């Protein structure tokens, strides 16, 4: 499944870049994060509980930064394992200075495998949409906090 979008932040590009590239700050934007371990500046791991209709799906997700061109582009790969589910995701964003702030174009390709994917396929899209919306809302908040110091 491919998802993509655009978001405006009322903050300088450097601030947005800083938030997006700080695993600890990003962890605060992700819903259902139960713990977060930073291995090095390119690898980190999150233990999350993704809300699904019949209960939460616990996953251990390994993130790896694949590519970055500060302050405009970064690409991440995420691989998650959970009970009855495997997640593979490639995501990237582009930051462009815009009037009054920063414009972010982002995209993600999500591959969900296993019985959860089989049974949950029909509810997956709304769940992904909801998650994306929450992440972006939280990101906005993090950026504002970073901007105001």
Partner 1 sequence: MTETTVTPERALVVEEGDVKPGFIGQSVPRKEDKRLVQGEGVFFDDVKRHEMGYVHFVRSPYAHARIKSVDVSKAHELDGVYGTLTGDEVAILTDPFFELSTAPGANIKDYALAVGRVRHVGDPVAAVVARTRELARDAAELVEVEYEPLQHVLDGEESLKDEVVLHEEAGSNTVWSGVFDWGDFDAALADADHVVRIERLHFDRFSSTPLECSGCLVEYNRGTAQWTIHGNHQMPGVGAIWMAPALRVGIDKLRFVSQDIGGGFGNKITLHPQYTACCLLARKLNRPVQWTEWRTDQHTANTHGNERTFLDVTVPVKADGTMLGFSVRAIDDCGAFPRYEPLGCIIWAQVTPGCYRWRNIRVDFTQVCTNKSPVAPNRGYSRMQHLWLTERIVDIVAGELGLDPIEVRKKNYVKHEEFPYETPNGCIYDSGDYARCLDIALDLIGYDSLEEKRRDAESRGKLLGIGIGSTLDSGTNNFGQSMILNPELQFSGNNEVATVKLDIFGEVVVTLGTVPQGQGHETTASQVVADILGCTPDQVNVRAGHDTYWNSTAGFSGTYASQFAVTGLGAVKGATEKLAGEMKQLAAAVFGCSPDDIELVESQARIKGNPEAALPFMALGAILNANNAGLPPELDVTLNVRHVYRPPFEKPDLERKYGNLTLTYATQIHACALEIDPETGVYEIVDYAAVDDCGNRIHPQIVEGQVHGATAQALGAATHEIFTYDEEGNLLTPNFYDYHVPHALDMPPLKTGFIESESPFTPLGAKGMGEGGGAGIHAVCAALQNALGRRGEGPIVWRSCNPYEGVWDLVQKPEQTRKLVSVESR
Q: Which parts of this chain interact with partner 1 (CB under 8 A)?
A: 83-86, 88, 111-115, 117-119, 121-122
- State which residue, 52 or 117, has the beta carbon closest to partner 1: 117
- State which residue, 46 or 116, has the beta carbon closest to partner 1: 116
In the bound complex, what is the minimum distance in angstroms from residue 32's beta carbon to partner 1?
A: 19
- Using CA atoms, how far apart are residues 119 and 102, in angstroms rounded to an integer? 39
Q: Of 35, 38, 24, which is closest to residue 58 (Cα–Cα)? A: 35
- State which residue, 58 or 75, has the beta carbon closest to partner 1: 58
Dihedral-angle region of residue 124 (phi above 0 means left; psi in -120 to 50 means alpha; beta otherwise): alpha
In the bound complex, what is the minimum distance in angstroms from residue 4's beta carbon to partner 1?
A: 17
Residue 69: CB atoms within 10 A of its CB come to 10
In the bound complex, what is the minimum distance in angstroms from residue 46's beta carbon to partner 1?
A: 18
Show Cβ contacts of residue 11 under 8 Å, excluding neighbours closer than 6 positions.
101, 102, 143, 144, 146, 147
In the bound complex, what is the minimum distance in angstroms from residue 88's beta carbon to partner 1?
A: 7
Centroid of chain to Cα 96: 19
- State which residue, 79 or 147, has the beta carbon closest to partner 1: 79
């Amino acid at each position: 499944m491919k998802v993509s979008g655009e978001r405006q932040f009322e903050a300088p590009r450097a601030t947005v870049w800083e938030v997006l590239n700080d695993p600890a700050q990003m962890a605060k934007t992700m819903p259902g994060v139960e713990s977060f371990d930073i291995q090095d500046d390119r690898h980190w791991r999150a233990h999350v509980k993704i809300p699904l209709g019949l209960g939460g799906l616990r996953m251990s997700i390994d993130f790896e930064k694949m590519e970055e061109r500060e302050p405009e582009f970064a690409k991440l790969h995420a691989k998650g394992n959970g009970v009855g589910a495997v997640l593979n995701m490639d995501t990237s964003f582009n930051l462009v200075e815009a009037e009054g702030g920063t414009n972010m174009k982002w995209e993600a390709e999500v591959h969900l495998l296993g019985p959860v994917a089989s049974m949950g396929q029909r509810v997956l899209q709304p769940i992904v949409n909801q998650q994306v919306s929450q992440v972006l809302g939280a990101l906005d908040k993090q950026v504002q906090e970073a901007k105001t110091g």
